[in-house]
């Protein structure tokens, strides 16, 4: 065997390559950029090595990436099929279920009351309970209170109503900072909450998962429940965005 050239990539090399892939996979954003900062900060405290310390999301992404690569290479799974599954949970089925819950609450005040009193039972009425969503608490945004959901320990998230958690939700900076400086985090994510609005942060656990009932935007009085469900975004149900009314002409460039 030609050791220098023909040798298949060894484990270390594979992991290194996968780390690069994982880094690219974890799409860069403001919070991801912050993660780099916090990593450098950690290194200032004597961590001279690479990624062996508290870099949970990167490490998990790395391992998932590595596992996926091996399975794809062995022909046991198909990348396109995996992408399809993730896309289904993340962009189609998941958040759409939660959006239906929100829209129902907006048009049916009795349902809204039941939803806030017992989220699990009311969500169960629509059939959206299941793994990672067995015990649900719904918190309502009002002009006085804005709710934000996080999982400071890991990435607990209500799959049956929201699908898979986005990458930033699992990132160390979001998990740490959401409880310390929620207003700043929300602002970085594009949501400025007025100073006179109280921000409540809910820390998800393996037992309880949260869903934010966002405020119904003005100008939607004539919309049907189905139409309303279409405008409810995933991020609004985590509490990092508002629901915007359907675009009236060019979207008001609030990026």
Instruction: Catalogue the active-site residues.
Output: 151, 154-156
Angle value at C-alpha 27, between 231 and 154, nearest 5 degrees: 80
Tell me how long the chain is: 255
- Structure-token pair, residue 27: 């799409």
Residue 47: CB minimum distance to Fe ion, A: 24
Task: Single out the residue of 177, 154, 149 nearest to residue 56, CA to CA.
Answer: 154
Query: Which residues in 113-152 contact Fe ion (CB under 5 A)?
Result: 151
Query: Which residues in 145-204 contact Fe ion (CB under 5 A)?
Result: 151, 153-156
Per rule CB under 5 A, count of chain residues that contact Fe ion: 5
Residue 176: CB minimum distance to Fe ion, A: 13
Give the residue with the Cβ less far from Fe ion, 151 or 172.
Answer: 151
Give the residue with the Cβ less far from Fe ion, 104 or 158.
Answer: 158
C-alpha 119/C-alpha 112 separation (Å) is 9
Long-range pairs, 58-62, Cβ under 8 A, ≥24? 58/19, 58/22, 58/23, 58/26, 60/170, 61/22, 61/25, 61/26, 61/167, 62/15, 62/18, 62/19, 62/22
Residue 206: CB minimum distance to Fe ion, A: 7
Task: Single out the residue of 211, 138, 148 nearest to residue 179, CA to CA.
Answer: 148
Give the residue with the Cβ less far from Fe ion, 97 or 155.
Answer: 155
Residue 37: CB minimum distance to Fe ion, A: 23
Give the residue with the Cβ less far from Fe ion, 24 or 206.
Answer: 206
Task: Single out the residue of 238, 168, 174 nearest to residue 26, CA to CA.
Answer: 168
Q: Packing angle between helix 56-73 and helix 79-87, nearest 10 degrees?
A: 140
Residue 77: CB minimum distance to Fe ion, A: 25
Measure Cα distances from 240 to 19, 99, 145 in Å: 29, 15, 13
Task: Single out the residue of 135, 134, 122, 124 nearest to residue 213, CA to CA.
Answer: 122
Give the residue with the Cβ less far from Fe ion, 103 or 237.
Answer: 237
Contacting positions for Fe ion (CB under 5 A): 151, 153-156
């Amino acid at each position: 065997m030609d050791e220098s050239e023909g040798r298949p990539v060894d484990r270390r090399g594979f992991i290194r390559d996968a780390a690069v892939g994982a880094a690219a996979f974890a799409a860069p954003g403001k919070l991801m950029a912050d993660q780099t900062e916090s990593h450098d900060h950690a290194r200032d405290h004597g961590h001279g090595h690479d990624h062996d310390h508290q870099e949970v999301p990167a490490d998990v992404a790395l391992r998932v990436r590595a596992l996926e690569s091996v399975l794809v290479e062995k022909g046991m799974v198909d990348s396109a099929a995996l992408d399809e599954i993730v896309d289904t949970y993340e962009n189609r089925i998941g958040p759409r279920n939660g959006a239906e819950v929100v829209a129902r609450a907006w048009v049916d005040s009795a349902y809204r009351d039941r939803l806030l009193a017992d989220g699990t039972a009311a969500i169960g009425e629509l059939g959206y309970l299941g793994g990672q969503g067995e015990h649900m608490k719904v918190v309502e945004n009002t002009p006085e209170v804005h709710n934000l959901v996080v999982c400071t320990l890991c990435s607990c998230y209500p799959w049956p109503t929201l699908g898979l958690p986005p990458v930033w939700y699992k990132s160390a900076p979001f998990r740490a900072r959401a409880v310390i400086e929620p207003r700043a985090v929300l602002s970085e994510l594009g949501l400025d909450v007025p100073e006179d609005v109280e921000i409540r942060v809910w820390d998800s656990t393996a037992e309880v998962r949260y869903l934010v009932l966002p405020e119904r935007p003005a100008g939607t009085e004539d919309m049907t429940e189905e139409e309303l469900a279409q405008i409810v975004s995933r991020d609004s149900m985590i509490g990092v965005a508002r629901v915007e009314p359907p675009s009236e002409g060019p979207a008001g460039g609030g990026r």
